[in-house]
Amino acid sequence: MITTTRAIVFSSIKYGEADLIATCFTLTDGLKTYLLRGILKSKKGKLKTSYFQPLMQLEIVANHKNKGTLESIREAKVSYPYDSLHTQILKSSIVLFLAEILKNTIQEEESNEHLFQFLESSFQWLDTNETEPNFHILFLLKLTQFLGCYPDPSNAHFQYFNKAEGVFQESDPIDYCETGAHVKNFKRFFGINFDSLNDLKLTKSERSRVLNLVLDYYHLHLQGFKKPKSLLVLNQLFN
């Protein structure tokens, strides 16, 4: 079935001498993986290697057979040209980190318009605003709303965060509870949007501890989740 759809690139890897395998999240069909034949050697084709950098926003004409095999793309064009996302080193490190997270967590092969719009608008915000070192933490928290495991902040006045249940509570009955300054800082991310991040000041140590708490939460709630390899680079740049 020939489909025209917007798509966000999660990853692309070289396959053979001239091909790429690209994983994209599409508006119409969710996650799709494409075999792009000859793209690394073609200079005049309708597909360009630069289109398939992480988190690129595209409009594609694709052949979706929906048989569990690699799909194909006939045409592609950039639907939203980034100004800074792939050229500023701090932003590009966030891009690699989030792209790795997304490929690891989003598996649905069906349309999810709300999730797609969240991804589009989030990356456009990151592109058009100054580098915000807490962006990825708020992004990961907001993403859990679409992954079905958003923590319940209704008792955020309690000091313990139960990572297994995703709730705040008065006491620490099990091993999965944490308390301390990093939990207090984690609470500060609830109920805010990206425009409010400039008011949320954290030291590099505080930021690292909150991020590790969020990644531990992902590990507990998402089967097969592993900490991204790009985390080390991200921490080094922001530190």
pTM: 0.94
pLDDT at 189: 98
Q: Which two tokens stand for residue 33?
A: 């993986």
Over residues 57-62, mean pLDDT? 97
The predicted-structure confidence for 64-99, as pLDDT tens digits, reads as follows 988 778 999 999 999 999 999 999 999 999 999 999
Please check the confidence at residue 174 and state whether its pLDDT lies above 80: no
Report the pLDDT value the prediction gives residue 239, as an integer from 0 to 100.
Answer: 60
Please state, rounded to an integer, the average pLDDT across all residues of the chain: 93
User: What value does the mean pLDDT take over residues 213-231?
Assistant: 93
Burial of 193 per CB tally in 10 Å (0-12, 13-18, 19+): exposed
- What pLDDT is stored for residue 182 in this prediction? 97
Distance, C-alpha 61 to centroid of its chain: 24
Domains of the chain: 2-80 (2.40.50.140), 89-238 (1.20.1440.120)
Q: Cβ distance 61 to 4 under 8 Å?
A: yes
**High-pLDDT (> 70) share of the chain, %:** 99
- Residues 150-158: contacts with CB under 8 Å, at least 24 apart: 151/190, 151/217, 153/187, 153/190, 153/191, 156/187, 156/190
The torsion defined by the Cα of 212, 108, 29 and 35, in degrees rounded to 10, comes to: 80
% of the chain beyond a pLDDT of 90: 82
SS3 233: helix
10-46 pLDDT per residue, tens: 999 999 889 999 999 999 999 999 999 999 987 777 7
226 or 68, higher pLDDT: 226
How many other C-beta atoms can be found within 10 angstroms of the C-beta atom of residue 22? 29
Tens digits of residue pLDDT in 98-125: 999 999 999 988 999 999 999 999 999 9
